[in-house]
Structure 1
Amino acid sequence: MKIVVLVKQVPDSGAERTLRGDDNTVDRGSADNVINEMDEYAIEEALRIRERAGGEVVVLTVGPERAGESIRKALSMGPDSAVHVTDEAVRGSCAVGTSKVLAAAISQINPDLIVCGAESTDARGQLIPHMIAERLGIAALTGARKLTVDGPALTIERQTEDGYEVVSAAMPAVVSVWDTINEPRYPSFKGIMAAKKKPVATRSLADLGVPAAEVGFDGATSVVVEHGKRPPRQAGNKITDSGDGGVKLVEFLASEKLV
């Protein structure tokens, strides 16, 4: 079985993130960039499937040259190889354009299963898995908290606010996972050293047959036209209890329509 895991390099969610002033995109150059947290769970799930059923796990990333750091981190967890799509024309792509690039790369790899995180911490759109499945004409089993593979059949427990749904499909398929599905392994020293020798294939838009005009800023279906910093927090209302503190509190809550 061949499994592709989608991995995205994102700014660390624990640090302050800013947008560039020239094009309103995330300023990744000055950020502390890491693997999208949810993608680590996708990597772990793919590795567990390989351990049970055999095959290979391929990491797929679309991003600038520095995204290679996250590729090596992903490989240190245990995947066999990686494909890095890097092309300046991709910068500024919306979800529609990004899904086009990913789908083209996946088609060349021809996997049985595509596993990815349910969302990225920089966008939180939860769109890419659905878009890729639509472009490839395959099933999308999204929001999984549990994945079962039985031959060519896949079954997930889809996490919802009210519990879970059981959804099944045949491979090939796209499966997106939440952080409730497993506990990612830590890279060992042996894994870190081995990752340096694992093959990483580089692809451009031309290699994938994707016209540059259909992605990036030119092909984007949505753009950020303006941005500003969050306004500073305003001072709160202080209530001094002189025997009527409870009444004042209720009056304040009522004025805010909270009671």
Structure 2
Amino acid sequence: MAGVPRAPMQPDIILEARSLGRDFNGFTAVDKVSLAVRKGDIHAIIGPNGAGKTTFFNLLTSFIKPSRGQVFLDGAEITGKSPAEIANLGMVRSFQISAVFGHLTVLQNVRIALQKRDGGAPNFWSANRLLERYNERALEILRLVRLDSAADRLAVEIAYGQKRALELATTIALEPRVILLDEPTQGMGHEDVEHIMALVKSFAAGRTVVMVEHNMKVVAGISDRITVLARGSELASGTYAEVSANEAVIEAYMGRKKHRSPN
């Protein structure tokens, strides 16, 4: 499209960050971090506390504007666009669009997301009969995240882990090309974590997922590639096997270098 800045990219790369950086009052929170996410991959961003993961995530989705660097979605530069504009281009962040409306039922929350997907602004005052056409698909999605039994409960009444599942459900309802998940399993019990892992892997088919996640079992179990941040900089990138054997990563997480056997 004329007037839209584009940049040479590998054909299998859908999301790219180039030398992103962000300063806060003289403190560099993110320093020249680059990222290349392949289409169809589940790409995890990990790192110890204070690594800059959340700031970097916010830079990708334009919740924070970068001090320097660029972000590209499918070859088109999106640096500086609003979060809403980026969502309309097919890249959504879980809490960005899937905010839980406590005064609505679980089912109504998903219906609102389906309405948004169809191109309409969320409308809390639409006649119920106009929204009922979304019931069947909404219930299908709720069954995926094991919330169908809570469909008629107010969102404010459900447990924290269920709210996280509801956020995931409303994100799925939007059918984005690229999904960014911020700690999707946080606050969940073991059984729910296993289910969310399977769910993310399932709906990732044909889409791309970028996630910040602390649970290393989740990262090891479903990620195709991993980027490790430390002190605001990229420490390593690769498969789980590659980054877990990286001495710099071991030192950042464990505070010590990997032991070497004597020759």
Q: Same fold (TM over 0.5)?
A: no
The structure where helix makes up a greater share of residues is 2
Larger radius of gyration: 1
- TM-score computed with the length of structure 2 as normaliser: 0.24
